[in-house]
Amino acid sequence: MKKTDNQILVIFGASGDLTARKLMPALFNLYVARQLPENFVVLGASRSDLTDEAFRDKVVYNSPYLKEKIEDLKENYIRGFADKLFYEDLGGAYDTDYQGLRTRIETLKKEYKTSGNIIYYLSTPPTLYETIAQRLADAGMSTQNNGWKRLIVEKPFGYSLETARKLNAGLHKFFTEPQIYRIDHYLGKETVQNLLVTRFSNSIFEPLWNRNYIHHVEITNAESVGVEKRGGYYDKSGALRDMFQNHLLQIVSLVVMEPPIGDQPEEIRNEKVKALKSLRIMSDEKTLWDNTIRAQYVASEVKGEKVKGYREEDGVDANSTTETYAAIKFFVDNWRWEGVPFYVRTAKRMPTKVTEVVIHFKTPHHQIFKDSGVNSKDNKLIIRIQPDEGILMKFGVKVPGQGFKVERANLDFYYSSLAQTYVMEAYERLLLDAMQGDATLYARADEVEAAWEFVDPILNYWKNGKDVRMYGYAAGVWGPENADELIDDLGSWRNPGESLAEDPGYCVIC
């Protein structure tokens, strides 16, 4: 097991939603699992006027996100966790000299013997990231001569290629790249990491993992919820920035990458960057027209309940052109993937919540069982990222009896069937990794920029292109019908079932 040094976790923006909803439950789980170091404290820092006790009340005792977790636990046990939490009121702004914060850290360090190792977690609006890094450096709080210093940066990392580059350059003035941990919570998901293991710890998949055997790759990320209370944020972002540029391109990089020489962070990250750099950038309007589709959900009824359209959501402009559905077809220009189309879509207000990667294999080059009734293009490897995590392999088997009638069969594996039951939540895993100095599951500067390089032309085209289409789709359906135009020669997208076990298995190419 890796060693976790004693340390302080300072959270900027600690009065906000992310701290209560994700960070505290993750830290609490680590505490329960005895994964936190012996001498460890969390110092929340924001402008809100809170005391240590008020902060503990907010993020532990009265937190709706911890309610279920703490219900059955003894009070003194919960207090054991809460007592590790402190709060520092930054006064009116984040752009100050941090002398108060520095003094507080020094006091906590002495009292709790945390040895000067500090993680600064930036959980504020992104416009403050560089300012906070600068203020920390000005106050001498980024230097590593008396313990390491790390900076975790939340998404979104930039709004475009230009802003991502600026942010990287801005942070690099005050922290070195090895000190910076850019979070992408999809990389913290077990099943996303399992893509690497499935590919590179088996000898049965990798020989087929190329243009000779793979017909196309299809990735779906669907959410049944709408924009919820985040209309204001989402309307400035959209599906492409919110999900595709980061989470989905991270998944793509793991599907596309070459085998790393080992499992060290830089060995894996080098290959991911190469993969992202090999995505064919779409530069002319015709290509962008042919290969990208955007849409918005419109008002409708889902399971008997009225659902607002995107433009009616709180915080959303009534004439908004922000997409809640994005589908992109693209190619990968390298030896392994030449000519293999990738179809990737992400959307809100779909029939169900699901994320899956589907590897569609080619038809055998010579058809022996011509009247079999099943097209052998139906060989698929379905990697279900969430929920009902698992892997399903679809293949043809002979129907007992005369002749050679073929039927589809499934070989499946479900995570839930593993004997080891405890699967860490994404934030739990990522926080622990950062505490241990392991950046494998964090995005490197060049990785983020390579992803933006691919996405930028699409965003520009959607913003400034001539007659760009914006489709509507009723909440609760699988997006606009026109999305099938993208998948032209194949017929339509695969619509996954609610669970892997109930996979409908249909798709027009079958």
Ligand X SMILES: O=C1O[C@H](COP(=O)(O)O)[C@@H](O)[C@H](O)[C@H]1O
Ligand Y SMILES: NC(=O)C1=CN([C@@H]2O[C@H](COP(=O)(O)OP(=O)(O)OC[C@H]3O[C@@H](n4cnc5c(N)ncnc54)[C@H](OP(=O)(O)O)[C@@H]3O)[C@@H](O)[C@H]2O)C=CC1
Residue 242 counted as an annotated binding residue: yes
Between residues 85 and 383, which has the closer beta carbon with respect to ligand X?
Answer: 383
Instruction: Return the amino acid letter for 59.
Output: V
Residue 223 counted as an annotated binding residue: yes
What's the CA gap between 239 and 460, in Å, rounded?
14
By a kind-dependent CB cut-off of 5 to 8 A, residue 491 interacts, out of ligand X, ligand Y, none, with none
Does residue 232 bind ligand Y (CB under 6 A)? Answer: no
By a kind-dependent CB cut-off of 5 to 8 A, residue 223 interacts, out of ligand X, ligand Y, none, with ligand X
Does residue 246 bind ligand Y (CB under 6 A)? Answer: no
What's the CA gap between 100 and 47, in Å, rounded?
13
Distances (CA, A) of 429 to 89, 309, 433: 28, 36, 6
Between residues 128 and 399, which has the closer beta carbon with respect to ligand Y?
Answer: 128
Does residue 125 bind ligand Y (CB under 6 A)? Answer: yes
What's the CA gap between 424 and 421, in Å, rounded?
10
Count of residues of this chain found to bind ligand Y when the rule CB under 6 A is applied: 18
Q: Which residue is nearest to ligand X (CB)?
A: 242
Residue 473: both structure tokens together = 């789709």
Does residue 194 bind ligand Y (CB under 6 A)? Answer: no
Between residues 48 and 163, which has the closer beta carbon with respect to ligand Y?
Answer: 48
334: helix, coil or strand? coil
**How big, in percent rounded to 5, are the helix, strand and coil portions of the chain?**
35, 20, 40
| Closest by CA position to 338, among listed 280, 268, 277, 384 | 280
What's the CA gap between 7 and 119, in Å, rounded?
8
Residue 67 counted as an annotated binding residue: no
What's the CA gap between 496 and 220, in Å, rounded?
9
Does residue 124 bind ligand Y (CB under 6 A)? Answer: yes
Residue 353 counted as an annotated binding residue: yes
Candidate list 31, 32, 37, 47; residue touching ligand Y; CB under 6 A: 47
The residues that touch ligand X, with contacts defined as CB under 6 A, are 223, 242-243
Residue 185 counted as an annotated binding residue: yes
For the chain, helix (H) and strand (E) counts, in that order, are 16, 17
Catalytic residue among 172, 215, 216, 247: 247
Instruction: Spell out the residues 6+ positions from residue 317 whose beta carbon is closer than 8 angstroms to its own.
Output: 235, 311
Smallest separation (angstroms) from ligand X to the CB of 223: 6
Does residue 18 bind ligand Y (CB under 6 A)? Answer: yes
Residue 212: both structure tokens together = 């000779």
- Residue 389 has, within 13 A of its CA and on its CB side, a CA count of 15
Does residue 155 bind ligand Y (CB under 6 A)? Answer: yes
Smallest separation (angstroms) from ligand Y to the CB of 430: 12
Per DSSP bridges, beta strands 471-474 and 292-298 are parallel
Residue 90: both structure tokens together = 């930054």
Between residues 242 and 271, which has the closer beta carbon with respect to ligand X?
Answer: 242
Q: Is the CA virtual torsion 78, 81, 83, 86 positive or negative?
A: negative
User: What single string gives the DSSP state of each residue in 379-396?
Assistant: -EEEEEEESS-EEEEEEE
By a kind-dependent CB cut-off of 5 to 8 A, residue 242 interacts, out of ligand Y, ligand X, none, with ligand X
Does residue 17 bind ligand Y (CB under 6 A)? Answer: yes
247 labelled catalytic:
yes
By a kind-dependent CB cut-off of 5 to 8 A, residue 125 interacts, out of ligand X, ligand Y, none, with ligand Y
- Region near ligand Y per CB under 6 A, out of 13-21, 108-116, 215-223, 494-502: 13-21
Task: Please state the residue numbers annotated as binding site for NADP(+).
Answer: 47, 155
Task: Please state the residue numbers annotated as binding site for substrate.
Answer: 185, 189, 223, 242, 348, 353
Task: Please state the residue numbers annotated as binding site.
Answer: 47, 155, 185, 189, 223, 242, 348, 353
Which residues form the interface with ligand Y (CB under 6 A)?
13, 15-18, 21-22, 46-48, 123-126, 128, 154-156
Q: Hey, which residues are catalytic here? A: 247
